[in-house]
Chain A
Amino acid sequence: MIEIDGLTKRYGGTTVVDAVDLRVPTGSITAIVGTSGSGKSTLLRMINRLVEPSAGTVRIDGRLTTEEPAHALRRRIGYVIQGNGLFPHRTVAENIATVPRMLGWSDVRIAARIEQLLLLFGLDPQIHAQRLPAELSGGQQQRVGVARALAAGPSVLLMDEPFGALDPIIRAKAQTDLRAIQQQLKTTIVIVTHDMDEAFLLADRIAVLDNGRLLQYDKPTRLLTAPASAQVSALTGTADRALRLLSLDTVMVAMAPGHADGLQLSASMSLRDALSALIWAGVRAATVCGADGEVVGQVTLEAILARGAAHQ
């Protein structure tokens, strides 16, 4: 758990982060969103003390971050930035080994960890481990950046627009991979983004910042159905909020007993994708199949539409 209390940063006379309180539950993903200059990066960087707070405290698993030297703290916290920040003169393996080496791990343990992480991120240790960052594609560099941040098994991972430089297709893949890896490792993640789709796709909770102040910290659904202010609605977007709401649930929640003719959908599909599939096929209902292809029920257009309504 990350506990942030009254966290404030002032530069000269201007307050860029203003008394923010935040509780990030262990093993969850929190997205920080807000317009450019709203203080997202500053807030994030105060968690690992790359920026020293003017006031307020941060506790990680109950321990004040000021209890140890900043560099020792940062070795326990993963940090990923846009453009990945890989060390250009060090190979992929050496980049990943950075923190374990500083922590004094044995060579054997480091080598095993490098191999494990490369495989986890879909890179071939034989091919990629000895390459320099410049010899990788942008998407691969980004994955190595995340692998380096996770190398020493931190319980907390901070990410500042980590996928900002990737093209849409690679970005979508990186996002689903991150989600899968997070579910496997149970890492607590705080991710800064100004891509609202990314926030809704990844986050268990979203923190909305405006001018350094925290407007709302809530589940994605609540941000849509119970926005704290007009600014929150403006930021999350109102035109497609029904569809966004549908994207947050799977077919499972709108399912009813029975089956339909023709179209079959997977139970794990989002309602938004299911709606699209129904419209595309020109039908009003579809059979829902489980992970092994067995029929588990049916879903109708009406049931989906009802889930997209503001008051349920």
Chain B
Amino acid sequence: MRPATLLRTAVWLSVIAFLWRPSAFAAVFAPFTHDGAPAIYDQGDLADLALAHLGLVLFATALSAVIAVLLAVVVTRGPGRAFLPMSRSLVSIGQTFPPVAVLAVAVPLVGFGSLPALIALVAYGLLPVFENALTGLAELPASVLEAADGVGMDAWQRLWSIELPLAGPLIVEGLRQTLVISVGTATLGSTVAAKGLGEVIIAGLLSDNTAFVLQGGLLTGLMAILLHDAIGRIGAYVLPRQG
């Protein structure tokens, strides 16, 4: 087995083992507690929270990816092209906007729970995919596009079989960024009562229990790394080779 595969397998196995039997790891986290506080998060099921966290992130990312790619497709052709410069500046402005601010705006509108977290994640996750899809679609070689028209592809065939596959690697790269950002941002969701690993961190902070903070932090961090890795591999498998 190659070292990368070995490491990947080891990380996956430890995460699964920890979620399956957190109590088995009590000794590892005990040094981070004091005054007889529990070493393992005991106010909910860690696996449950991790799954909810993952579900929220994946759903939000899928949603923002679809919206972002559609928007990028629209502003790179036909009448939509008039909005290309504007959307480019919107993207760069949008990325300077902190996700907490999006949450703060969403709560008064839709109340507490998973919905404001989802809105914040989707809104914030739009940007990397949109920006990359835009670059990928707007900067395709002119000769390839001319050839696609020249052989008699209609607009859909050209988009589906030439433009999107060629912009694919950049779009996947954007998707990776979105996923990593979302995993982190989703912890903030717990401040508005969305279910997720943020609960563990917040509980740790409130009860001054570093072990809880570590557990929540490690799980989110590893989730981000594993997703980042998985998307890259799925992308390499799904996308065509390009010489």
CB-based contact B242/A85 at 8 Å = no
Contacts of B153 in A (CB 8 A): 71, 98, 102
CB-based contact B241/A85 at 8 Å = no
CA distance A74 to B146 in the complex (A): 12
B35 touches A (CB below 8 Å): no
B239 CB to closest chain A CB (Å) equals: 8
CB-based contact B240/A90 at 8 Å = yes
| A interface footprint on B2-44 (CB within 8 Å = 1, 0 otherwise) | 0000000000000000000000000000000000000000000
Within 116-130 of A, Cβ neighbours of B (below 8 Å) are at none
Once A71-B154, A87-B144, A89-B166 are accepted as A-B contacts, the answer to whether A132 and B241 lie under 8 Å apart by CB is yes
| A interface footprint on B136-163 (CB within 8 Å = 1, 0 otherwise) | 0000010110111111111001000010
A191 CB to closest chain B CB (Å) equals: 15
Residue of B nearest to A83 (CB): B143
Contacts of A90 in B (CB 8 A): 240
Contact of A50 among B149, B157, B165, B166 (CB under 8 A): B149
CB-based contact B165/A102 at 8 Å = no
CB-based contact A85/B152 at 8 Å = no
A163 touches B (CB below 8 Å): no
CA distance A71 to B166 in the complex (A): 21
Contacts of B150 in A (CB 8 A): 48, 50, 74, 79, 81, 85
A306 touches B (CB below 8 Å): no
B79 touches A (CB below 8 Å): no
A226 touches B (CB below 8 Å): no
Residue of A nearest to B148 (CB): A87
A172 touches B (CB below 8 Å): no
Contacts of A86 in B (CB 8 A): 144, 147
B165 CB to closest chain A CB (Å) equals: 5
Contacts of A71 in B (CB 8 A): 149, 152-154
B243 touches A (CB below 8 Å): yes
CB-based contact B143/A89 at 8 Å = no
Once A71-B153, A87-B162, A89-B165 are accepted as A-B contacts, the answer to whether A133 and B243 lie under 8 Å apart by CB is yes
A103 CB to closest chain B CB (Å) equals: 9
A253 touches B (CB below 8 Å): no
CB-based contact B152/A132 at 8 Å = no
A56 touches B (CB below 8 Å): no
CB-based contact B144/A88 at 8 Å = yes
CA distance A81 to B153 in the complex (A): 16
Residue of B nearest to A49 (CB): B149
CB-based contact A81/B242 at 8 Å = no
A75 touches B (CB below 8 Å): yes
Contacts of A74 in B (CB 8 A): 149-152
A84 touches B (CB below 8 Å): yes
B162 CB to closest chain A CB (Å) equals: 6
A140 CB to closest chain B CB (Å) equals: 13
Contacts of A181 in B (CB 8 A): none
CA distance A242 to B241 in the complex (A): 52
B154 CB to closest chain A CB (Å) equals: 5
CB-based contact B243/A135 at 8 Å = yes
Contacts of B147 in A (CB 8 A): 79, 81, 84-87
CA distance A82 to B150 in the complex (A): 13
CA distance A69 to B157 in the complex (A): 15
A135 CB to closest chain B CB (Å) equals: 6
Within 2-61 of A, Cβ neighbours of B (below 8 Å) are at 48, 50
CB-based contact B243/A81 at 8 Å = no
Contacts of A98 in B (CB 8 A): 151, 153
CA distance A69 to B165 in the complex (A): 26
5 shortest interchain CB distances as A-B pairs: A134-B243, A85-B147, A74-B152, A75-B152, A79-B150
Q: Which residues of B contact A (CB under 8 A)?
A: 141, 143-144, 146-154, 157, 162, 165-166, 240-243
Q: Which residues of A contact B (CB under 8 A)?
A: 48, 50, 69, 71-76, 79, 81-90, 98-99, 102, 132-135, 148-149
List 9 additional contacts besides A72-B152, A74-B150; criterion CB under 8 Å. A71-B149, A73-B152, A81-B147, A81-B150, A82-B143, A85-B141, A102-B157, A132-B242, A133-B243
